[in-house]
Structure 1
Amino acid sequence: MERRLTAIVAADVVGYSRLMGADETGTLAALKSHHTELIEPRITEHRGRIVKLTGDGLLAEFPSVVNAVACAAEIQRGMRQRNDSVPQDRWLEFRIGVHLGDVIVEGGDLFGDGVNVAARLEGIAKPGGIAVSGSVRDHVGARLNLSFEDMGEQTLKNIEKAVRVYNILLDPSSAHPEHAATPMPTQERQRRSIAVLPFTNMSGDPEQEYFSDGMTEDIITDLSKISGLHVVDRNTVFTCKGKSLTVQHAARELGVQFVLEGSVRKAGSRVRIAAQLVEGHTGDHLWAERYDRDLTDIFAIQDEITDAIVQQLKVKLLPKEKAAIAQAPTENIEAYTYYLRGRQFSHEWSKSYLLLARRMFSKAVELDPHYARAYAGIANCDSALHAWHAAEVSLDGILEMSAKALALDPDLGEAHAAQGLALHQNGSHAEATTEFECALALDNNLYEANFYYARLLYTQGDFAAAAKLFERAAELRPDDYVSPVHLMTLYHALGRPADRRRWAQLGVERAERALDLHPENSGPAHRGALALAHMGEHDRAMDWAARAIAIDPDESLAHYNIACVYSLLGELDQAMDHLEKVIPHISSELVLWFKNDSDLDPIRAHPRYQKLFETQDKPREPSI
């Protein structure tokens, strides 16, 4: 075992999970570019070596402390320049910690307290900043054109003794006397950052998960209306769901100053909600409260939590923002509960679940005839049912239902998305595009707007634009197994095999989780079968397809996807058997979808295929 005294540099990306959630491919490409063009050359120039890469971070060692600090400073300055041409929400920023300490060397790797201290220093460094230990400060002295800000003795996690910590000021002109506190920048004072972690379902019933998730989403929505707060969006925070993360770790991963966490226990007409606001850097609790109330008080509780955050963070609330937050979506808590349940069911897209979702939305409307979101939900269910079972639902009724939602709340993104979907079903593509654009302008994090708009663009042959929106939809809902399957097919048509396989794998993973959760739903089975066919896994694809038909032998969407499975696997007659069960029952918009679907390319020359689609080119009823 070899020991040596060395300078250790630990670096990590700020808010890496948030960046990956927003743009996985772009973030990975940018990080690779920064490594090869900036970080690795600077480390080599200063005679250091990279000990290991840790996903979004690295560990390096230098024989010279002065070289280690100089290298860290050049990297941070270089990152500032490289971020200049990038929107602020896409900045890649590093935290860096530097320590001089004794380490153990084994097989090229480093271990021991020296490494641990460097890693802890990196964890408390400011975004884009460098935190160093007292031993580093003493050795560097005045050798570099840098200033050091004394942060005092710091107790670092799992480090026995307190460590004197200094923050490096890269711009000497901004130096403060050592031991002086650094004033918070004006922009940071005015715009605090917060993440609302998914509230934990403590009801003992997994079927109640929709309620705790719905409450989390509503608090995020309310906080997002406050201009003085930067709130991490839903899709990013929900990547933390189910993970054992400390609040400090979550704050670092999401790149925020504050974290709200909590739990929900719903039992009959009572609800118990616990919530706590935590300072992300220290883990200190700024505020905590427990509410034991009637379920009818749920909106009042949400308002109280929002008010507490505003007060604790000393955020200025404008009158318009206060009014927007106070406006509850419905006065009827039972209607709200039915709406949340319906929205969860509607994302499954199979006929049985759509009918179930529609009953939930209809019950919500019965309880509150002015509930715009519930009307939009009914319209969306009917649009999907119309697409796959054209004779069962009136298109005029769908347009009327979505118009009702818009009349009740003209600023509701869900209502505009529902109107867009109805117009798409009607073949009014230009008007549908206008509604989708409006929905995204009102709420670009709205799953339905991204998903439905992507489907429209697909039917128009704009595959690249459709792929972008499907990717956003997949990011917004980590349980969405439908978008990855669409993306797999799109990238197959675009001739991008690596992306095709990546999304196919994700589709299988998500479909498998969904099937475990709801084994009675055929949707994950037939979509998973299609993804497996794209991956060339013949036997598993056949098993999943058989399972889908066993679950629901009358589901048109299942027969269509299984037709695609057989088509991809070269079983053309079997593909036609399933396709012939679908075509007579669907809308003309779906026929247009089929004609763009590259999964059916292998059977397009089949005589039965040509004859089948000849009948679909004849005029249908004017409204469809």
Structure 2
Amino acid sequence: MAALRVRGLSVAGERTRRFFEELRRRKVPRVAVVYAAAGWVLTEVASTVFPALMLPGWTVTLVVILMILGFPLAIILTWVFDITPTGIERTAELAESDAEDTGSPATTRPGYPPTIDAAVASVAVLPFDNLGPAGGHAVLANGIATEIHSTLNKMHRIRVAPRRSSFRLAAGDDTVEEIARALNVRYILSGSLMRDGDRIRVIAELDDAIEGSQIWSEKYERGLDHLLAVQAEIADAVVAAFGGERQRAEIQRAHMQPTKNLDAWSLVQKARHYILNYSRRSLDEAQSLLLQGIELDPDYAAAHAALGSVLAERILNGFSDAPQEDCERAIKAIQCARSLASHDAFVLKLSGMVWAICGDPIQSIHSLRASVELAPFDFGAWGYFGWPLVARGTAEDLEEVHKIIDRLLNIAAEHSGVPYWLLHKSAAHVCQDELQQAADIAGQALDKHGELSWIWIHHANVLGLMDQFEDAQASAGRAAQVNSAMTPAHYAARVRAMGGSAETISKRIDGLVAAGLLGVS
């Protein structure tokens, strides 16, 4: 009984906390203070001026009564509506959820990705052209576009096309209109950078690809040490074009934890280029660059978060010689990042990924949920939910995986995360004993990206569960060709380390045992 009372208090406390967070998000306290101050001033003016005008005494009382009656109306309107440059709009709801987040496995439901039409604007950020020596300043040009993409991606109602897809299309011969159509966005942000000694010239422009018109363009000529300020100004200008008091407040929050060290920033941009290759050499190089960046600026939250994610990727792909020690280092890195930027969507997203790989699905879901509440159109963060939900493996979790992934595939089919989204959906089918569906979807994932060794070894497990032992051995062999460290033994060790019930773990590795690829543990 006492435990139930404590649990009830904790649930009530969590609901109260979330209610007050929602009040702050909708600016209700600010309006209440401004209204009270204005009411007091108006009452004082009425008390002084009305007698001088020989108005009846009851008119001052009327002013006071009207101010009191208007207060709840002002609060209700503030809760419901947001004022934007394009007019008054209803305030967007947070991501829907089936239940309150009380911390228990049954109720930490992440909700669902928002539909495309819920965004006030959709934009693709293309790599900026390097107008200097060939390759000489490409890191600066690409880095500024990457940083603007990351900043805009933290906005609550702005949908930003995936960076990798945008950069890939920009490298071809497609027109702005064709790129926008392929990425399903309306606006395109592009630009150029030229460096001349310690001076830079950055030109940025925002185009409406549907109307075929230019929305905004600006040229920035500054000293090199002002490059990061220029990046922030461009992001501010884009958000201002899309409008909304809320968006302007969010862009300020997104700028709260930048580095002022240009060298540290450049190192992190180089590291981000390497991270997504998933090879041992690339991840080693990324780790080295991030450590250098942190040494230059120990308070660079994004660098610590990225380091945590690199360490987790090394563990996942079998490149770590000491997985337990690297997990501890990864957790320490994300904890440092969160101490520096506790409400940064990027930091929370990578924290969720690290917790999932290092075996704490509850912490992972909490971090990812906080991330998508801040940035609901960060579809990469939504995709990360597959790791902890499949690991935890309850019936509700597995259904949640299907709902999230199905929504993602429907609204972001060209996202670079699609192969992993399909992996999570396939793994959920395995845990539900739906093996043919699991095999079909794993095959689709491999068709999308045939160089992801984790998906190949998962595919081998599915085939083993279906008694297709030769095909299972062939898939395991393909995994080894892609990545020699991705052995069945490593895969099984990582599945166990991610947590979950014995039954869930068994379903995820027993096919490898049946195919003779893994010994009975």
Question: Following TM superposition, by how much is the alpha carbon of 1:601 offset from its aligned partner in structure 2, in angstroms?
Answer: 4.2
Letter in 1 for 2:261: N
Q: CA deviation at 1:401?
A: 2.5
Per-residue displacement from partner, 1:248-306 (whole Å, max 9, x unpaired)?
Answer: 55666777665433345789988664422234454233443455666543322223324
Structure 2 SS opposite 1:456: helix
The CA deviation at 1:415 is 3.3
Residue from 126, 131, 135 that aligns with 1:198: 126
Using the TM superposition, name which of 403-412 and 261-270 deviates more: 261-270
1:391 paired to 2:300: no
Return the alpha-carbon distance in structure 1 between the equivalents of residues 461 and 501 of structure 2: 23
- Contact 1:413 1:440 (C-alpha < 8 Å) held by counterparts: yes
**Aligned equivalents of 1:504, 1:542: Cα separation in 2:** 15
Letter in 2 for 1:377: A
1:589 maps to which residue? 498
* Aligned match of 1:164: none
1:226 CA drift (Å): 7.0
In structure 2, the partner of 1:484 is 422
User: Identity of counterpart residues, as a percentage?
Assistant: 18
* 5+ long unaligned stretches in structure 1: 1-183, 512-522, 561-578, 614-624
Aligned length: 394
Q: CA RMSD in A?
A: 5.1
Q: Note if contact 2:146-2:163 (Cα within 8 Å) is conserved in structure 1.
A: no
Give 1:300-311 correspondences, 5 Å limit: 300-309=229-238
Q: What is the letter of the counterpart of residue 158 of structure 2?
A: V
Q: Which residue of 2 aligns with 1:465?
A: 400
CA contact (8 A) 1:436 1:449 kept: yes
CA distance, structure 1, for counterparts of residue 518 and residue 335 of structure 2 = 38
1:231 aligns with 2:163: no
Normalising by structure 1, we get a TM-score of 0.49
Does the 8 Å contact 1:226/1:317 carry over to 2? no
Q: Check 1:281–1:375 CA distance in 2 against 1; reply closer, same or farther (3 A cut).
A: closer
Is the 1:416–1:436 Cα contact (8 Å) retained in structure 2? yes
**Counterpart amino acid of 2:422?**
P
Question: Which residue of structure 2 aligns with residue 443 of structure 1?
Answer: 375
From the superposition, tell whether residues 359 and 350 of structure 1 become closer, same or farther in structure 2 (CA, over 3 Å): same
Could you tell me which runs of 5 or more consecutive residues in structure 2 were left unpaired when the two chains were aligned.
Answer: 1-84, 92-118
1:524 aligns with 2:462: no
Post-superposition offset of 1:403: 1.7
Q: Does the CA-based 8 Å contact 2:126-2:188 persist in structure 1?
A: no
Q: Which residue in the other structure is 2:447 paired with?
A: 508
**How big is the shift at 1:376?**
1.5
More strand by share: 1
* Structure 2 residue identity aligned to 1:589: M
Which residue of the partner structure matches residue 68 of structure 2?
none
| Aligned 8 A contact 2:315 2:323 in 1 | yes
Structure 2: how far apart are the matches of 1:480 and 1:431? 24
Q: How big is the shift at 1:529?
A: 7.8
Q: Matched residues in 1 for 2:197 and 2:473: separation?
A: 43
Query: Are residues 268 and 346 of structure 1, via their aligned partners in 2, closer, same or farther at CA, if it must alter by over 3 Å?
Result: farther
The answer to which of 457-466 and 467-476 deviates more is 467-476
Contact 2:352 2:363 in 1 (8 A): yes
3-state SS of 1:261 partner: strand
Aligned mates of 2:421, 2:135 — CA distance in 1 = 24
Deviation, 1:405, is: 1.1
* Maintained 8 Å contact 2:124/2:180: no
Q: Distance in 2 between matches of 1:541 and 1:422?
A: 29
Instruction: From the superposition, tell whether residues 450 and 199 of structure 1 become closer, same or farther in structure 2 (CA, over 3 Å).
Output: same
2:348 counterpart SS class: helix
CA distance in structure 2 between the partners assigned to 1:312 and 1:249 by the alignment: 22
Partner of 2:204: 275
2:298 is paired with a residue whose SS is coil
Cα 1:592–1:319, aligned 2, differ >3 Å: closer, same or farther? Answer: closer
Q: Is the 8 A contact 1:251 1:258 kept in 2?
A: yes
Code of the residue aligned with 2:293 in structure 1: it is A
Distance 1:308 1:300, change over 3 A: same
Q: Distance in 2 between matches of 1:234 and 1:524?
A: 23
Higher helix share: 2
Q: CA contact under 8 A between 1:248 and 1:281: conserved in structure 2? A: yes
Instruction: Please point out which of 265, 288, 296 is paired with 2:217.
Output: 288
When Rg is computed on C-alpha atoms for both structures, the one with the higher figure is 1
Structure 1 224/445 Cα, relative in aligned 2: closer, same or farther at 3 Å?
closer
What secondary structure sits across from 2:443 in the alignment?
helix
* Matches of 2:507 and 2:137, distance apart in 1: 39
Give a deviation string over 1:25-44, Cα, whole Å, max 9, x none: xxxxxxxxxxxxxxxxxxxx
Q: Which has the higher contact order (CA 8 A, sep 6+)?
A: 2
Question: Quick check: 1:415 aligned with 2:343?
Answer: no
Please say if residues 447 and 476 of structure 1, whose CA atoms lie closer than 8 Å, have aligned partners that are also in contact. Answer: no
Q: Which letter does structure 2 place at the counterpart of 1:407?
A: S
- Indicate if the aligned counterparts of 2:139 and 2:269 stay in contact, CA closer than 8 A: yes
2:372 aligned with 1:372, yes or no? no
Question: What residue number does 1:18 align with?
Answer: none
Select between 448-457 and 285-294 the one with higher mean Cα deviation.
285-294
**8 A Cα contact 2:382 2:404, kept in partner:** yes
Deviations 1:315-374 (A, max 9, x none): 768874563365462112222232233334334445444333222221121111101111
**Match of 1:232, SS?**
strand
Superposition TM-score, scaled by structure 2 size: 0.58
Please report how far the alpha carbon of residue 411 of structure 1 lies from its aligned counterpart in structure 2 after TM superposition.
0.6
State how 1:34-45 maps to structure 2 within 5 Å: none
* One-letter amino acid of the counterpart of residue 448, structure 2: E
**Secondary structure, counterpart of 2:258 in structure 1:** coil
**Which of 455, 459, 467 is 2:387 aligned to?**
455
Residue 452 of structure 1 deviates from its aligned partner by: 4.1
- Counterpart of 2:334 in structure 1 is 402
How far does residue 545 in structure 1 lie from its aligned partner after superposition? 6.1
Aligned-partner Cα distance in 2 for 1:220–1:372: 17
The 5 Å alignment of 1:107-506 reads 186=87, 193=121, 195-199=123-127, 202=130, 215-223=144-152, 231-235=158-162, 238=165, 241-242=168-169, 244-248=173-177, 258-263=187-192, 273-291=202-220, 296-309=225-238, 320-321=249-250, 323-324=252-253, 326-327=255-256, 329-386=258-315, 388=318, 389=320, 391-394=322-325, 395-421=327-353, 423-424=355-356, 427-446=359-378, 449-461=381-393, 462-469=397-404, 472=408, 477-478=415-416, 481-491=419-429, 494=432, 495=434, 497=436, 501=440, 504-506=443-445
> Cα deviations across residues 397-421 of structure 1 (Å, max 9, x unaligned)?
4433222111111112343345445
